[in-house]
Amino acid sequence: MNRDDVEIKCSKNLYRGFFEMNKYSLRHKKFDGSWSDTISREVFERGAVAAVVPYDTVRDRIVLIEQFRPGPMAAGAQNPWMIEVVAGILEPNETPENLATRETFEETGGELTDILPICAFYMAPGSSTEYCHLFCGRIDSADIGGLHGNSDEEEDIRVFSEASEIAFARVSKGEINSAFSIIALQWLQLNYKDIRRRWI
């Protein structure tokens, strides 16, 4: 099946602020060939994002960030400060690669000298348009660390680097529970030897 097998009856904007929420009334073709009844679905309009795991092959260190996240807070998490890889929202006419490079500099103060695509995926396809382009980036972590962030957006970001084995262990221990960060770190762990051969 494809997009032609969905009929949108109407759409209505429910909220427009930093993000947007729309309600769709639609029907779609079913696997038995018939059509569904008209259904209503609210969709969180997030759009495209990019995330990158910055990796220093010379020192075998991964750059990570920690910052407050309102989602876990609203869900009742005891600690709404999340350890993550670098990520940001795609701006008009910006490529995912350029976004990954820009966000790395803005959030960590470091510059990527090479970048590799990992994959792209929907973050929550049942309720959101958010589509993540995921990368691995080569970086020099020698002088990276401290507090960063865009003051215009009230960002307060702690930046640090640590040995790759420690970062990988954080995933196993449940210390990292951001989806795109888990995918990025597990990909790097699986491709660890190949990446080191490529960038050393």
Catalytic residues: 153
Residues 6+ apart with CB under 8 A from 136: 52, 53, 55, 115, 116, 118, 184, 187, 188, 191, 195
93-101 contacts, C-beta under 8 A, 24 or more apart: 96/48, 96/50, 96/120, 96/133, 96/135, 97/50, 97/135, 99/49, 99/50, 99/133, 100/50, 100/51, 100/52, 100/133, 100/135, 100/137, 101/137
Contact 118, 187 (CB under 8 A): yes
Place of tokens 């792209």: 120
CA atoms of 166 and 161, how far apart (whole Å): 10
Contact 137, 144 (CB under 8 A): no
Biggest CA-to-CA distance, the chain: 61
